[in-house]
Chain A
Amino acid sequence: MDKFLDIDGVSKRFVKETTLGERIARAMGAGGPPEVVRAVSEVSLSIAKGEVVGLVGESGCGKSTLGRMVAGIYVPSAGAIRFDGAPVAKPAGRRVEKLTTRVQMIHQDPFASLNPRVRVVDTVAEGPVAHGIVGAKHSDDYVADMLTRVGFDAAMRRRFPHQFSGGQRQRIAIARALAMKPDLLVLDEPVASLDVSIQAQVLNLFQELRRDLGLTAIFVSHDLGVVRHVSDRVAIMYLGRIVEVAPTRTLYAAPAHPYTKALFESVPKIGAGRGVFKPIAGEIPSPLAPPPGCHFHPRCPAAGPRCRREAPRLVETGPGQRAACHLHDGGVA
Chain B
Amino acid sequence: MSDVVLSVQGLETAFSTRAGTFKAVDGVSFDVGRGEIVGLVGESGSGKSVTGYSILGLVEPPGRIVGGRVELDGENLLALAPEKMRRMRGARVAMVFQDPMMTLNPVLRIGTQMIAAVRAHDPVSKADARTRARDALGIVGIPSPEERLDAYPHQLSGGMRQRVAIATALLHRPAVIIADEPTTALDVSIQGQILAEVRRLADETGTAFVWITHDLAVVSSLADKVCVMYAGRIVERGPADDVIASPRHPYTAGLLASVPSLHEPGAPLPQVPGSAPPPLQRPEGCAFRPRCARASEACLADPPLATFDDARRAALCHHPIEPDAWTSFSTSTASRNAS
Contacts and interface: CB of A to CB of B under 8 A. Distances in A.
Interface of A: 58-59, 165-168, 195-201, 203-204, 207, 222, 224-226, 228-230, 248-249, 252-253, 255, 262-264, 266-281, 283-284
Contact of B188 (A165, A226, A267): A267
A165 B276 CA distance: 9
Contacts of A228: 260-261, 265, 337, 339
Which 5 residue pairs of A and B lie closest in terms of their CB atoms, listed nearest first?
A225-B261, A279-B192, A200-B258, A229-B260, A268-B221
Contacts of A276: 221
Contact of A284 (B157, B214, B276): B157
Given A225-B339, A230-B266, A263-B189, A270 B255 contact: no
A197 B188 CA distance: 21
B265 to A, nearest CB: 5
B241 interface: yes
Contacts of A280: 189, 192-193
Contact of B217 (A58, A200, A270): A270
Contacts of B338: 252-253, 255, 264
Interface residues on B, range: 35 or more
Contacts of A248: 265
A225 B187 contact: no
Nearest to A281: B193
Nearest to A268: B221
A284 B271 contact: no
A112 to B, nearest CB: 15
Contacts of B220: 268-274
B240 interface: yes
Contacts of B339: 224-225, 228, 252, 264, 267, 269
Given A59-B187, A264-B339, A271-B244, 17 more contacts: A195-B43, A199-B258, A201-B273, A203-B269, A228-B337, A255-B338, A266-B192, A268-B191, A268-B215, A269-B217, A270-B262, A274-B199, A274-B223, A274-B241, A276-B221, A277-B195, A284-B190
Nearest to B196: A279
Which label, helix, strand, loop or mixed, suits the secondary structure of the B interface? helix
Contacts of B254: 197
Interface string B265-291: 110111111011000000000000000
B221 to A, nearest CB: 4
Interface of B: 43-44, 157, 159-160, 187-193, 195-196, 199, 214-218, 220-224, 240-241, 244-245, 254-256, 258-263, 265-266, 268-273, 275-276, 329, 333, 337-339
A274 B272 contact: no
A302 B259 CA distance: 33
Given A229-B261, A229-B265, A270 B189 contact: no
A222 to B, nearest CB: 6
Identify the interface centre among B218, B245, B259, B263: most chain A CB within 10 Å of its CB.
B259
A267 B199 CA distance: 15
A106 B260 CA distance: 20
A270 B222 contact: no
Contact of A226 (B190, B192, B255, B260): B260
Contacts of B191: 266, 268
Nearest to A262: B189
Contact of B189 (A198, A204, A253, A279): A279
23 contacts: A59-B187, A196-B255, A196-B259, A200-B271, A222-B188, A225-B261, A229-B260, A229-B261, A229-B265, A230-B260, A248-B265, A249-B265, A255-B338, A263-B189, A269-B221, A270-B216, A270-B262, A274-B241, A275-B196, A277-B196, A280-B192, A283-B160, A284-B187
A273 B275 CA distance: 29
Contacts of B222: 268, 274-275
Contact of A267 (B192, B193, B241, B329): B192
B187 A268 contact: no
Nearest to A193: B44
A279 B245 CA distance: 24
Given A204-B269, A276-B221, A278-B192, A269 B261 contact: yes
Contact of A275 (B160, B217, B221, B244): B221
Contacts of B195: 268, 277, 279
Given A58-B189, A273-B221, A284-B187, A196 B263 contact: no
B189 A284 contact: yes
B256 A270 contact: yes
Nearest to A283: B157
A165 B43 CA distance: 13
A71 B160 CA distance: 33
Given A204-B269, A270-B261, A273-B241, A222 B187 contact: yes
A271 B245 contact: yes
Given A196-B43, A270-B220, A279-B189, A225 B196 contact: no
Given A196-B43, A264-B338, A229 B187 contact: no
A279 B193 contact: yes
A49 B192 CA distance: 37
Contacts of B44: 166, 195
A267 B337 CA distance: 13
Contacts of B192: 266-268, 277-280
Contacts of A165: 275
A274 B259 contact: no
B216 A196 contact: yes
B46 to A, nearest CB: 9
A224 B216 CA distance: 15
Nearest to A195: B43
Nearest to A254: B338
B29 to A, nearest CB: 24
B218 A224 contact: no
A207 B266 contact: yes
Given A204-B269, A252-B337, A58 B221 contact: no
Nearest to B259: A270
Given A197-B254, A203-B269, A283 B216 contact: no
A196 B214 contact: yes
B148 to A, nearest CB: 12
